[in-house]
A and B are shown apart, each in its own frame.
Chain A
């Protein structure tokens, strides 16, 4: 469904991604694991068109998308949930959802704000609240909900568990499984191996801008040395 091949990206003057390749299949959840600064966010941004890759290809459902503007990539059915959330703090919860709203494609069951409020009950109570006044966990739910309003076929989730309390992380994991059950493919970036193991079908480990490992979560957990080296766990 999504195929990234030999991606090289720069940020400012720094060469961040050194030939990253990965793929996500239909309805699959793939975790991109790595520490801070390993290149996870840059990979996500390069796929989404927010960082223009210097070389390499990104193919989504057979279409080459590298170098296209972000809005056209989004319209093909790629959703992006940024690490720093980037909610529109001046807007209400409902207005945030409105910005993300795009018509559903084909046979997909369209997301509505009501369906999303079922998925994230915390948001329902606060639908008219200013998004900036919400807690970190609620904001994280809102970014995911906002992206789902675009009815994406694949969601790029950049560190959804970062900086939020374990209880919310638990809800988040539950929600992500729901999405998987809906048939939405997910590329998830994480530092947290345990969280990733709960939900991912496959994992890829990135370090120093290069993919250093790919396989199943079990394979990774059976290699404590590698884990220690790559993730400091």
Chain B
């Protein structure tokens, strides 16, 4: 059964259709990769799913609930976690406090004034840090972390509200190769163990081919292709615009060489 249903999503910026009539679905426990060249509309799509920008038309339904028109914090409360392409963490807090903050918010206690935050939900936060293998760094300030660790921390924060859907915007950008593998392995395990659905954008084709169940290819704001890894890899249109098929360049060589 489809858990997330996106229908006819469109958004224009100054006359340019950044996202043009995009529809797709995502099933429970599915890992769907959203790929496409830069400027294809991936980030715009993501922002609309997460309430950052409002589509001109179209709908996004999560488990039957309409998300269009909701604010990010409301979407989060419906069980959607998010990691950012450029990490967004609370830099003046420790690693553990970052996760604690998300847990406090999940428990609706951000307006609490009668106890200290420092030790609230510390054990649960530590458990989440265990999942991403960062328990040892729990009390380090966030602003001294290596970039790969920040990316992993984002995942722990996103898991704090026991999300049913994870939106990950280029989760491995800026990471070294072995780190990428381990982060995506972790994500795949979560999908398997918890039945979480994941939608992620990614440039690294290794990551995409290795872990995603299904691919959605965007180009110039439109869905160009959709299907399994093998289907998309074999699609000549996709090869041409994205995977470096070479037909265009071959013709160039004859023109100019």
Count contacts on A: residues with CB < 8 A to the other chain. Answer: 27
In the assembled complex, the CB of A34 is this many whole angstroms from the nearest CB of chain B, namely: 11
What are the interface flags for A114-157 relative to B under an 8 Å C-beta threshold, 1 for contact and 0 otherwise?
Answer: 00000000000000000001001000000000000000000000
Task: Check A174/B203 contact, CB under 8 A, given A13-B145, A207-B177, A208-B176.
Answer: no
A residues in contact with B145, CB < 8 Å: 13
Q: Is A70 an interface residue (CB 8 A)?
A: no
In the assembled complex, the CB of A168 is this many whole angstroms from the nearest CB of chain B, namely: 11
B residues in contact with A192, CB < 8 Å: 244
Inter-chain contact count A-B, CB under 8 Å?
Answer: 59
In the assembled complex, the CB of A198 is this many whole angstroms from the nearest CB of chain B, namely: 6
Q: Are A13 and B144 in contact (CB under 8 A)?
A: yes
B residues in contact with A207, CB < 8 Å: 177
Q: Is A99 an interface residue (CB 8 A)?
A: no
Cα distance A14–B173 in the bound complex, in angstroms: 12
Cα distance A173–B257 in the bound complex, in angstroms: 11
Q: Is A37 an interface residue (CB 8 A)?
A: yes
Interface of B is mostly: loop
A163 touches which of B38, B176, B246, B253 (Cβ 8 Å):
B38
Q: Is A166 an interface residue (CB 8 A)?
A: yes
A residues in contact with B246, CB < 8 Å: 194
B256 touches which of A35, A136, A174 (Cβ 8 Å):
A174
Tell me the residues in window 215-243 of chain B with beta carbons closer than 8 Å to chain A beta carbons.
240-241, 243
Count contacts on B: residues with CB < 8 A to the other chain. Answer: 31
With both beta carbons as reference points, the residue of chain B lying nearest to A209 in the complex is identified as B176
Task: Check A194/B249 contact, CB under 8 A, given A208-B176, A233-B244.
Answer: yes
Q: Are B39 and A37 in contact (CB under 8 A)?
A: no
In the assembled complex, the CB of A162 is this many whole angstroms from the nearest CB of chain B, namely: 5
Tell me the residues in window 1-24 of chain B with beta carbons closer than 8 Å to chain A beta carbons.
14
Cα distance A72–B249 in the bound complex, in angstroms: 38
Which of A15, A35, A193, A197 lies at the interface centre, i.e. has the most chain B CB atoms within 10 A of its CB? Answer: A35
With both beta carbons as reference points, the residue of chain B lying nearest to A36 in the complex is identified as B203
Q: Is B133 an interface residue (CB 8 A)?
A: no
Q: Are B147 and A12 in contact (CB under 8 A)?
A: yes
Q: Are B175 and A198 in contact (CB under 8 A)?
A: no
What are the interface flags for B161-175 relative to A under an 8 Å C-beta threshold, 1 for contact and 0 otherwise?
Answer: 000000000000111
Q: Is A111 an interface residue (CB 8 A)?
A: no
Q: Are B175 and A37 in contact (CB under 8 A)?
A: yes
In the assembled complex, the CB of B210 is this many whole angstroms from the nearest CB of chain A, namely: 11
A residues in contact with B107, CB < 8 Å: none
B residues in contact with A193, CB < 8 Å: 244
Cα distance A166–B249 in the bound complex, in angstroms: 8
B252 touches which of A15, A162, A170, A233 (Cβ 8 Å):
A170
Which of A163, A177, A197 lies at the interface centre, i.e. has the most chain B CB atoms within 10 A of its CB? Answer: A163
Q: Is B92 an interface residue (CB 8 A)?
A: no
Cα distance A136–B37 in the bound complex, in angstroms: 13
B249 touches which of A13, A36, A195 (Cβ 8 Å):
A195
- 17 other contacts beyond A163-B40, A194-B249, with CB at 8 A cut-off? A13-B143, A13-B146, A35-B203, A37-B175, A133-B14, A162-B38, A162-B39, A166-B241, A169-B248, A170-B255, A174-B256, A177-B256, A192-B244, A194-B244, A197-B249, A208-B176, A233-B244
Among all A-B residue pairs, the 4 with the closest Cβ atoms: A14-B147, A163-B39, A194-B249, A163-B38
- Report 15 cross-chain contacts, Cβ distance below 8 Å, ordered by A residue: A13-B146, A13-B147, A36-B173, A136-B39, A162-B37, A162-B39, A163-B40, A169-B248, A194-B246, A195-B249, A197-B249, A198-B249, A198-B252, A207-B177, A233-B243
